[in-house]
Structure 1
Amino acid sequence: MASSAFGQTENEPSVIDPTLLSRNPGTFEDLNKKTKDLYPIIFEGFKFTLNKVISTHFQINHNIILSSVVPSGYKFGATYVGVNQISASEVYPIVLGDMDSNGNLNTNIIHQFHPNVRTRVVAQIADGILAGYQMTNDYKGNDFTASITAVNSDIIQNSGVLIGHYLQRVSKNLDLGCELLVQYGRNVPNNRMALYSVGWRYFGNMWQFSGVVNPLGSLHLCYYHQSKSPLQFGVELETNLRTMESSSSFSYQVDLSKANMTFKGMVDSNWTAGAVLEKRLLPLPFTFVLSGFLNHVKASYKFGIGFTIG
């Protein structure tokens, strides 16, 4: 139901990813999403959030941030979810937006005009001017997804970025895809530049291995594993063969449903460690969050406390 968009309860993670049960492989940009979602969202200072459900389709939130790292102040956000229900977890249109006390606006609009076509528009307004925008159109077939994205396209200046994605499910456990990025404009060498990449995802019921590689020598590998226990973990490796530089990271998530608690942590090869603890104070609609970050090389650290109502 549409009302579930604002009233979902926290459950133990399912062992099998529902997206992998479908013949459609999803989008190319989500190849490494399972691993990326394990990374803790680290913040510094104090963060207070008040969520208010106005109706089954409309929700607002108030945010107060006190930090020495990011701009402090007040931010107002709103979310609208429509009535066009595609599946148990997909309802369109979706309109997200937030505005801070200086009038800077971020907005995200997602709508599915056709059972096979989904459109996403993202825009940012800063200091009264349009700072950036992009539009993505996804076409979902039975066993493939094709996408085209336009970023900061300017017809007058003849500049911008176009990105094409294609992801195909070639077998029960294997997805293959490619990406083509074209940047054009007066400031681009020869007024036009192109770069392509190929990617894959091989998966089982409780794990998946994915990666993206391009001819410039860039390699990005991700491994994700989820067991029947509350633990999930992922490993990520990024290598640039031209500069001979590599970095790796290990992230994990522990869901303790009986304690109404979620813990996310990460460590990487740059001697950085970070973690976020989220505790839901049921039956009250309160959530308490602790965030920590430490870099052993630079001897820098961050510590944050958050509190959410609603």
Structure 2
Amino acid sequence: MGNVLAPVLNLHRPLRREEPLTNPGSFDELHRKCKEVFPQQMEGVKLIINKALSSHFQVTHTIHMSTVGQSSYHFNTTYVGDRQLSPTETFPMLVGDIDSCGSLNAQVLHLVAERIRTKAVFQTQQARFVTWQFDGELRGDDYTATLTLGNPDVLSQSALKWVATLNIGYGGAHASYYHRASEQVQVGVELEANTRLQDTTFAFGYQLNLPQANMVFRGLLDSNWCVGGVLEKKLPPLPVTLALGAFLNHWKNRFHCGFSVIVG
């Protein structure tokens, strides 16, 4: 009799190589991806003019004519320094916004060290000091630690195509989820619970990008029976963007619509 050699099966599957975690970003950026998907409510007529005075200095004029509230004018200035860490991060940065009523909102961002960022926010209302806030941020390889005076801490997870954020404090909780389904479709879900007011709200938003038509559409549906959308249309080669928005609240039987022109 002869010997038969049978192949030996390897029952041990190779371990899956895990990709290293990336830094989730700053505290302010955690909810930004989700909020950008939602359309901003429009009412009346708005004109926005952007002007870059230099590579470091830019001003913006905003005129809003409302049929419901008070019409206003905003003057915004932005200064950026020479130290650029990424396409969206340049230090130091100073941002100031003042309206026709004398209310001021100013922010100062500074890079203390390579991994330490600071931000100070000052706000006044009709020449009366209202509030201030100071943030200190330490960025590691796969985490971000933030200390904010007067605000709770944050727990987050992030990835290339989705961002999930949970913000818990004494007054309630705020959670958001952003998902980039494709280059054209982005969705966001937001849940906010307020223990003081005993109120919980839920909102779902989506964004559709049509680059061939130079159009962007954002839609909204929330737990207050409010539906709405904003359509933005660029008019190349002119630096002009037209936006048309409409919102309907079924519960309160209210309808708002608006039109804006953005130059720059």
Decide: shared fold, TM above 0.5.
yes
Aligned-pair CA distance for 1:28? 4.6
For residues 69 and 138 of structure 1, do their structure 2 counterparts lie closer, same or farther at Cα, with a shift above 3 Å needed?
A: farther
Q: Which runs of 5+ in 1 are unaligned?
A: 1-19, 151-161, 166-177, 179-198
Amino acid at match of 1:47: K
Q: Does 1:290 align with 2:244?
A: yes
Return closer, same or farther for 1:131/1:247 CA change in 2, 3 Å cut-off: closer
- 1:114 alignment partner, SS class: coil
Residue 164 (structure 1) shift = 5.7
- Provide structure 2 residue ranges, at least 5 long, that are not aligned to the other structure: 1-18
**1:98 — aligned with what?**
97
Distance 1:56 1:214 in 2: 40
Q: Tell me the SS of whatever aligns to 1:34.
A: helix
State the partner residue of 1:277: 231
Contact kept in structure 2, 1:31 and 1:211, CA below 8 Å: no
> What residue in structure 2 maps to residue 130 of structure 1?
129
CA gap 1:229/1:57 in 2 versus in 1, 3 angstroms = closer
Greater Rg by CA: 2
Tell me the secondary structure at the aligned position of residue 34 of structure 2.
helix
- The residue type paired with residue 248 of structure 2 is L
TM-score (norm 2): 0.82
Distance 1:52 1:21, change over 3 A: farther
Instruction: After TM superposition, give the deviation of residue 225 of structure 1 in Å.
Output: 2.0
- In structure 2, the partner of 1:57 is 56
Aligned match of 2:166 in 197, 211, 225? 211
Q: CA RMSD in A?
A: 2.6
1:64-104 alpha-carbon deviations (Å, 9 max, x no partner): 11114443132211111111111233111111112222322
Partner letter of residue 127 of structure 2?
G
Aligned residue among 224, 237, 255 for 1:301 = 255
Query: Which residue of 2 is the match for residue 253 of structure 1?
Result: 207
Whole-Å separation in 2 of the counterparts to 1:113 and 1:281:
41
Tell me: CA distance 1:257–1:141, structure 2 relative to 1, closer, same or farther (3 Å): same
Q: TM-score scaled to structure 1, two decimals? A: 0.71
Between 32-41 and 264-273, report the one with greater CA deviation: 32-41
Identity %, equivalent residues:
38
Pick the aligned partner of 1:230 from 178, 184, 192.
184
Closer, same or farther in 2 for the Cα pair 1:222/1:61, shift >3 Å? Answer: closer
* Structure 1 equivalent of residue 13 of structure 2: none
Note the alpha carbon deviations across 1:133-174, whole angstroms, 9 max, x for none: 111111112232222223xxxxxxxxxxx3463xxxxxxxxx
Would you say how many aligned residue pairs link Structure 1 and Structure 2?
246
